[in-house]
């Protein structure tokens, strides 16, 4: 059957597209009763083998304490879409969302408090490297930086009038931002200043992951995959196995995962140098996936997507059976 589709990169900027309802007929795959999440999930952060968080539409915040088998909904006190999540410990974390929204918890999500971002722009991604240094990015070139755990946020936008979708920071103070029209920004000082780098593409770059201060990958529209071996100073294209939009990527040791539209999942066993398409159930093509996060050098991971889709990974394997089963 024909289905309405949500394109996450459009949904981020507030365009509402009707989503068709998936109905599994007898003999086909169906969502298990043990997967109660129905919200679209835009981001996921796995902190340990047991602890992970995912956030999404209508203020949705979910937490797992058993590596993704069961998820408990948390009350963030908002109904706005939430786009980014990052924890620095099992207790302390931040969430970013619509219209400059930033939430902070120090008790594992039992209670969330709003921080004053000073921005009204949608914040599509947020990262923290310790209890003090954080960066949030969003539409119209929004770059917010904190050095006091979010008590105060400073506008450090480099003046690029483009949507910024992904941010990462390392303990050394290096940081990277990717976004619209091939935009790639690099900082050496925890986000206090930024330099634009040439990526050689005009494609929108939606997801990014650096394994260390040198090696990283960026993914985006039309299956775009770019690689850097010098900390983001220069980039080279990788011949992608798909033409489908890729929304998220993670490199962790020798393990790599990239996820995107139409059920596309890519995997790497050499730290993101080479990528191959994962063989997945045909019905997964009805979903998009934006969030992907791993721990323990990629040994364990969580993927989040549309209509409450949550998948776990172990080694090189995605556990599809936990989400879908045949009647």
CA distances from 40 to 44, 117, 157, 197 (A): 12, 24, 29, 33
What integer pLDDT is reported at residue 69 of this predicted model? Answer: 92
194-237 pLDDT tens trace: 999 999 999 999 999 999 999 999 999 999 999 999 999 999 99
Structure tokens that stand for 140 in this block: 């119209």
Is there a domain that residue 286 lies in?
yes
* Mean pLDDT to the nearest integer, 134-154: 98
Range of the domain at 92: 8-326
Into how many domains does the chain fold? 1
Is there a domain that residue 189 lies in?
yes
Is there a domain that residue 256 lies in?
yes
Is there a domain that residue 1 lies in?
no
Give the domain CATH number at 16. 2.130.10.10
Q: Identify the three-state secondary structure at position 56.
A: strand
Has residue 14 got a pLDDT over 70? no
Is there a domain that residue 16 lies in?
yes
Q: Grade residue 10 by pLDDT with cuts at 50, 70 and 90.
A: very low
Has residue 80 got a pLDDT over 90? yes
Range of weakest confidence among 12-21, 97-106, 153-162: 12-21
DSSP string over 227-271: EESSTTSS-EE---S--S-EEEEEEETTEEEEEEGGG-EEEESST
CA–CA separation, 153 vs 104, rounded Å?
13
Has residue 275 got a pLDDT over 50? yes
CA–CA separation, 183 vs 241, rounded Å?
23
Query: Are 222 and 245 a contacting pair, CB within 8 Å?
Result: yes
* Mean pLDDT to the nearest integer, 246-273: 98
- What is the biggest distance separating any 2 CA atoms in the chain, rounded to whole angstroms? 57
* Mean pLDDT to the nearest integer, 22-46: 60
For the chain, how far is it from start to end, CA to CA, in angstroms?
20
Mean pLDDT, the chain, whole residue set: 90
Is there a domain that residue 2 lies in?
no
Q: Grade residue 22 by pLDDT with cuts at 50, 70 and 90.
A: very low
Is there a domain that residue 29 lies in?
yes
What integer pLDDT is reported at residue 160 of this predicted model? Answer: 82
Is there a domain that residue 230 lies in?
yes
Residues with Cβ within 8 Å of 181's Cβ and at least 6 positions away in sequence, in order, are 162, 202, 204
């Amino acid at each position: 059957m024909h289905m309405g589709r949500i394109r996450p990169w459009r949904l981020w900027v507030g365009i509402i597209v009707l989503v068709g309802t998936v109905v599994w007929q007898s003999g086909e795959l169906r969502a298990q009763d043990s997967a109660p999440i129905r919200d679209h999930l835009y981001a996921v952060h796995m902190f340990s083998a047991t602890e992970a968080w995912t956030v999404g539409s209508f203020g949705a915040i979910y937490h797992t304490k058993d590596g993704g088998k069961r998820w408990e909904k948390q009350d963030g006190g908002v109904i706005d879409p939430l786009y980014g999540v990052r924890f620095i410990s099992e207790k302390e974390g931040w969430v970013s969302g619509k219209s400059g929204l930033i939430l902070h918890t120090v008790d594992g999500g039992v209670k969330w408090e709003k921080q004053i971002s000073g921005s009204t722009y949608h914040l599509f991604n947020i990262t923290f490297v310790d209890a003090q240094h954080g960066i949030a990015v969003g539409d119209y070139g929004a770059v917010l930086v904190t050095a006091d755990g979010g008590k105060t946020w400073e506008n450090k936008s480099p003046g690029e009038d483009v949507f910024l979708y992904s941010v990462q920071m390392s303990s050394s103070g290096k940081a990277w931002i990717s976004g619209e029209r091939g935009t790639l920004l690099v900082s050496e000082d925890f986000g206090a200043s930024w330099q634009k780098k040439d990526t050689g593409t005009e494609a929108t770059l939606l997801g990014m992951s650096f394994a260390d201060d040198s090696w990283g990958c960026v993914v985006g529209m039309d299956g775009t995959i770019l690689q850097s071996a010098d900390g983001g100073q220069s980039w080279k294209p990788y011949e992608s196995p798909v033409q489908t939009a890729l929304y998220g990527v993670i490199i962790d040791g020798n393990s790599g995962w990239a996820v995107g539209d139409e059920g596309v999942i890519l995997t790497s066993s050499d730290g993101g140098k080479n990528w191959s398409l994962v063989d997945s159930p045909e019905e997964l093509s009805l979903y998009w996936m934006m969030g992907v996060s791993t721990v323990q050098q990629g040994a364990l991971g969580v993927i989040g997507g549309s209509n409450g889709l949550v998948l776990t990974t172990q080694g090189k394997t995605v556990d599809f059976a936990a989400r879908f089963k045949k009647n």
